[in-house]
Amino acid sequence: MFENMSWGKRNRLASIVAADGHALMLAIDHGYFMGPTTGMERPAEAIATLLPYIDSLMLSPGILSSCISNSFAKGIVLRASGGNTVLDADIDDEELILEAVEAIKLNASAVAVSVFIGSEHGHQTLMNLTDMINAASKFNLPVLGVTGVGKALKDRKEKRYLSHASRICAELGADIVKTYYCDGFEEVVVKCPVPIVVAGGPKLDTDKDVLELCYNVIQCGAIGVDMGRNVWQHAYPEAILAGVHGILHGGLKVKAALDLVESLKNDKTRRKELFVETKEDVATSRLH
Ligand code: 5RP
């Protein structure tokens, strides 16, 4: 998959993409623009039982150094763009927040930069991506291009836009592209020359929806998911993640994965709700 790359880059990517060619990334970077989102108020506690199921964690540099044990030995995908929050008019006014050398000092396996193509600050975000690709290249550090949508782009989770945005990330040199699933998603994958992972998006209604998403993503040729809210906002995070793992790495079909999820739901695996979720919290959680 990454045959043309240097040894260093391939070695780093091997901690994100498992030997079976699939990648289960757990995204917990939301706080960088959403604040202490429901389910991720206390990151260390929220992910404690989830780590055995994942290949890599996607997170911000501050949460890595403040909440994650320095014996963590899986892939680390560091968010490298930011500077805008949900309290602003939109979330696309991002700049680079991390230098490639700082990512290396934190033992990152890759860095992630969002682009908001077609939005007011679209050009700036594309330059963020290219600047990071050029800087990261000095260290053989892989770059994940993230096709973001905010308020202005919220209706663009469709194949024409996502193909356009994913292809542009690849053309600029991203090693992996993270985008959204959509109808006709196989076309997005075919038109993007580098591997694709899919964001989970806001919480889906049922476990079947989550598992079908994961199954369909793989059937369409993507390498995996970089999923957040559908795991850690789930009433049983470990159970749903075990189901996702079963599909990505165990070859399970949706029905078998659903059975696995059900079998793991019990008092011990139930998420502890630390705070009452307000209407505002729900709205914030659904903004991208
Ligand atoms: C935030 C991100 C998230 O990592 C991404 O959206 C994945 O999380 P979720 O499954 O909750 O959508 O890039 O900008």
**What is residue 170's predicted lDDT score, i.e. its pLDDT?**
98
In a domain, 174, yes or no: yes
For residue 201, give the ligand 1 atom closest to its CA: 12
Least confident of 124-128, 149-153, 205-209, 210-214: 149-153
- Condensed to tens digits (0 to 9), the pLDDT of residues 145-204 reads 999 998 888 888 899 999 999 999 999 999 999 999 999 999 999 999 999 999 999 999
What is the CATH classification number for the domain harbouring 121?
3.20.20.70
pLDDT value of residue 3? 85
Residue 94 in contact with ligand 1 by CB distance below 6 A: no
Q: How far is the CA of 19 from the centre of ligand 1 (A)?
A: 24
Tell whether ligand 1 has an atom less than 6 A from the beta carbon of residue 200.
yes
Q: What are phi and psi of 104, to 5 degrees?
A: -65, -40
Active-site position among 138, 178, 203, 272: 178
- The residue whose CA is least distant from atom 14 of ligand 1 is 30
The dihedral sign for the CA sequence 54, 20, 17, 122 = negative
Residue 1 counted as domain residue: no
Contact (CB, 8 A) for 45 and 16: no
Residue 2 counted as domain residue: no
Query: What is the model's pLDDT at position 280?
Result: 85
Q: Where are the alpha helices (DSSP H) in 173-271?
A: 185-190, 207-219, 229-232, 237-250, 254-263
Enter the pTM of the model. 0.96
Q: Given this model, what pLDDT does residue 249 score?
A: 98
**Closest ligand 1 atom to the C-alpha of 148?**
14
Which amino acid residue places its CA nearest to atom 6 of ligand 1?
Answer: 199
Structural contact between residues 150 and 288, judged by C-beta atoms closer than 8 angstroms: yes
Task: Tell me which of 5 and 154 has the higher pLDDT.
Answer: 5
Using a 6 Å cutoff on CB, does residue 27 contact ligand 1? yes
Q: How far is the CA of 148 from the centre of ligand 1 (A)?
A: 9
265 Cα to the center of ligand 1, angstroms: 24
How many domains in the chain? 1
Domain region containing 212: 7-285
Name the residue with the closest Cα to ligand 1, atom 12.
201
Residue nearest to ligand 1 atom 7, measured at CA: 199
Atom of ligand 1 nearest to the CA of 30: 1
Mean pLDDT of the chain: 96
Has residue 83 got a pLDDT over 90? yes
Per-residue confidence (pLDDT) for residue 214, from 0 to 100: 98
- The answer to whether the CB of 55 is under 6 A from ligand 1 is no
Query: Does residue 244 carry a pLDDT above 90?
Result: yes
What pLDDT is stored for residue 274 in this prediction? 85
Q: pLDDT per residue over 101-149, tens digit each?
A: 999 999 999 999 999 999 999 999 999 999 999 999 999 999 999 999 9
Q: Measuring CA to CA, which residue among 78, 33, 84 is closest to residue 57?
A: 78
Q: Is 58 helix (H, G, I), strand (E, B) or coil?
A: strand
- Measured in angstroms, how far is the CA atom of residue 237 from the centroid of ligand 1? 16
Assess whether 178 carries a catalytic annotation.
yes
